[in-house]
Chains A and B, each alone.
Chain A
Amino acid sequence: MNMKHLFTNILGTFVFENNQLKDQILFKDLKDYLDKEKFEQKLTKKYKKVFEPKDKDLEFILAFFKDKKYFKQFYQKNLLLTKQQIKQSVQDDNLIIQTISSIKELDRLANVLIKRLREWSELYLPEFSKSIQDQEKFIELIQKKNRKQILKELKLTEETTMGKALTKTDIDEILALAKQAASTYQLRRKQEIYLEKIMKKFCPNILELCGSTIGAKLIEAAGSLKRLATFPSSTVQLLGAEKALFRHIKTGAKSPKHGYIKEHLLVQNAKEKGKAARALADKISLAARLDFFKGEFKAKQMRKELEKKIKQ
């Protein structure tokens, strides 16, 4: 007796007997393909004993579909399916990754802007720029006060200052740059608040354990929360220290102790940084697993344990 084979692909579901097409149900659209079991059952009922094709039979079936008449269908259905898959792949961790990348870039941008602003403003107020270290405060004050007020506050007169009295049009140009820098800082702060908000919803354990910036950086380095959850804690410990790690493997230099997690206060304040980093990475990988499988909120307890362990 000949074996009957059932084979379902994106075009439809087919029954082959003795290397010949015996019966078929073609799918009208993607919906049919997505609940293909319904159609498979129909054919299984009709032919009773059908098998899954293997080896030689599978090779024959795959060759069977290498036919001009099928390719247009292959193209249309796969294109639609791929679009659907891409749509479904967008999840909250994509938002976290984009936000943290944006924050990093805004940091760089704000630094560039304020460097130029300081250089430029030192032409007419050199002493003022030197007297204020804090960047955001500097931007705020230079916009608020005019030259005379600032000179008075610094107890300087036109004779003792190094700055030249520029015209109003020249100063306006400088203040326009200050405005841009201020808005960059504002945007950054806004995004940080947003990041914390989505992380609270999506990965509360990681957020509680290591804060929004470090947590988001770890997710970014891993690629997604799913990958972070599958990593062993030794990998989590070294995320962000790839350069040093590969230098260690290649040339035998000292191995790095920590990656992004060295920014964490617990690690920074610890006496033995390597030990603290190890303990923290251990808890983070546990927290990532809790978050990925939508487990309970345990981070507070973990944090307490961690603090105890590091103090010892």
Chain B
Amino acid sequence: MNINPSKIFDVYQDRNRLYTINLTPKQSFFQERLIKKGSKEFREWDPRRSKLAAAILKGCHNIFIRKNDIVLYLGASHGYTPSFVSDIIGENGYIFALDLAPRTTRDLVFLCEKRKNIIPIMADANQPNLYLDKVCQADIIYQDVAQRNQAEIFLKNINLFLKPGGYALLAVKARSIDIKKKPKVIFNEVRTFLEKHTKVIDFKTLEPYQKDHAFIIIKNV
């Protein structure tokens, strides 16, 4: 076992496996592997379950999430990816984790009670006005919602919550936009749509870790 720092801050790598340092030692929430090495404990990050991990393995040079950042996370679901983002940002960073479904938010609340830097919010990402009073401005926006109008939701949230010069990450699920079109066509449409309003700085498809998904990073101008 040879775990070394990867090119991304606070993310470690051993060949094709990604790790973060566990913020809550000895506790794993999703049956992921824990590896103890010296005084640090590493948590394995599965790219098949997390689109962010898949994007890193596909060669994103920078995911722009740093220590002590405030992250607005739309589409938190059970909290798999948020738990690793919470490892990266550390105790002094905060994640506002949004999800609409009560069933998945229930799991998320259990995670939040253990990890004090994740703040659960049950709201619809499509209606920012309804959760305006529960969040603050964010350094990073991460969105992973399986909605038809994902790109519009993304733009709405960027305009309201992203700080000037901040970065935003979007996982595009082609299947929920249109199942008739080819994924490549949809990715290009989303990209050109975003380029009209912001600056796209990175684009990666997530094969073979995630089927018909792409990852886009933009900068707020």
Contact = CB atoms under 8 A, between A and B. Distances in A.
Interface string B110-121: 001100100111
The interface residues of chain B, by DSSP majority, are classed as mixed
A293 interface: no
Interface string B181-215: 00000000000000000000000000000000000
B92, B106, B109, B121 interface centre (most CB from chain A within 10 Å): B121
A78 B133 contact: no
B70 A82 contact: no
A62 B113 contact: no
Contacts of A71: 94, 119
A71 B70 CA distance: 10
A63 B137 contact: yes
Given A62-B160, A82-B105, A82-B120, A10 B134 contact: yes
B80 interface: no
Interface in A56-105: 58-59, 62-68, 70-71, 74-75, 78-79, 81-83, 85-86, 89-90
A10 B119 CA distance: 13
Contacts of B133: 8-10
Contacts of A9: 132-134
B180 interface: yes
A89 B102 contact: yes
Contacts of A58: 132, 160
A89 B102 CA distance: 7
Contacts of B102: 85-86, 89-90
Given A85-B102, A86-B105, A79 B136 contact: no
A62 B136 CA distance: 5
Contact of A62 (B122, B137, B180): B137
Contacts of B106: 86
A82 B122 contact: yes
Contacts, number: 74
A65 B161 CA distance: 12
B66 interface: no
B136 A65 contact: yes
B161 to A, nearest CB: 7
A249 B180 CA distance: 7
Contacts of A246: 179
B163 interface: yes
A78 B109 contact: no
A85 B134 CA distance: 14
A250 interface: yes
Contacts of B112: 79
A83 B102 CA distance: 10
Contacts of A67: 136
A256 B105 CA distance: 35
Interface in B137-183: 137-138, 160-161, 163, 179-180
A150 B94 CA distance: 72
A82 B137 contact: no
Q: Which 4 A-B pairs have the closest CB atoms?
A: A9-B133, A65-B136, A89-B102, A62-B137
22 contacts: A9-B133, A10-B133, A59-B160, A62-B160, A63-B163, A64-B136, A66-B137, A66-B138, A68-B92, A71-B94, A74-B119, A74-B134, A74-B136, A75-B116, A75-B119, A78-B121, A79-B109, A79-B119, A82-B120, A86-B109, A86-B122, A89-B122
Interface of A: 8-10, 58-59, 62-68, 70-71, 74-75, 78-79, 81-83, 85-86, 89-90, 246, 249-250
